[in-house]
Amino acid sequence: MGKKKIITQSEEELLKESEKIEKASSKEIKVETPIRVREGCVYIFSSYNNTILTLSDIKGNVLLSNSAGRLGFKGSKKSTPFAASKVAEVVSEGAKKLGIEKIHIFVRGVGSGRESAIRSLAARGLEVISIKDVTPIPHNGCRPPKPRRV
């Protein structure tokens, strides 16, 4: 085996990367519905690869949605709690613009960004009414294979 090469980022590269993330999160959020709603639902899908947040009204009509990949995180950084909190910040800003004050949270998936996204939504001034885990769980599993004939 040869020497192991350790890649380190200089401060300039780190600053460029953080500016890129800030630029992506500060883009103007398009508000499609002129109707002011007071309550909404936030669906958090957190997988091993990405974190996606979707904001909808009580009926289920999607108002806005955002993900870690859309904010400029790439590769394994998309699944980090930091990326999930940044996505939650952007979604909470959009909720404020729409006039949403109270939210129901539905969490799905097993990723590491679940708790940090919830904390970030609550810290941004949105009143959390309920948190529900809707991760699909198999009850009986799939059908076992036929017995082997010898």
Interval 110-142: pLDDT, tens: 989 999 999 999 999 899 999 999 999 988 888
Instruction: State the pLDDT at residue 122.
Output: 93
Instruction: State the pLDDT at residue 36.
Output: 66
Instruction: State the pLDDT at residue 34.
Output: 55
Interval 17-31: pLDDT, tens: 777 777 766 665 555
Q: What DSSP character marks residue 77? A: G
Instruction: State the pLDDT at residue 141.
Output: 87
Question: To which residue do tokens 């082997």 refer?
Answer: 148
Does the CA dihedral 127-90-33-132 come out positive or negative?
negative
What global pTM score does this model have? 0.75
Interval 73-104: pLDDT, tens: 999 999 999 999 999 999 999 999 999 999 99
Sorted by where each starts, the structural domains of the chain and their CATH numbers stand as: 84-135 (3.30.420.80)
Cα angle vertex 59, ends 58, 61, to 5°? 100
Confidence check: pLDDT of 1 > 60: no
Instruction: State the pLDDT at residue 90.
Output: 94
Q: Are 20 and 70 in contact (CB under 8 A)?
A: no
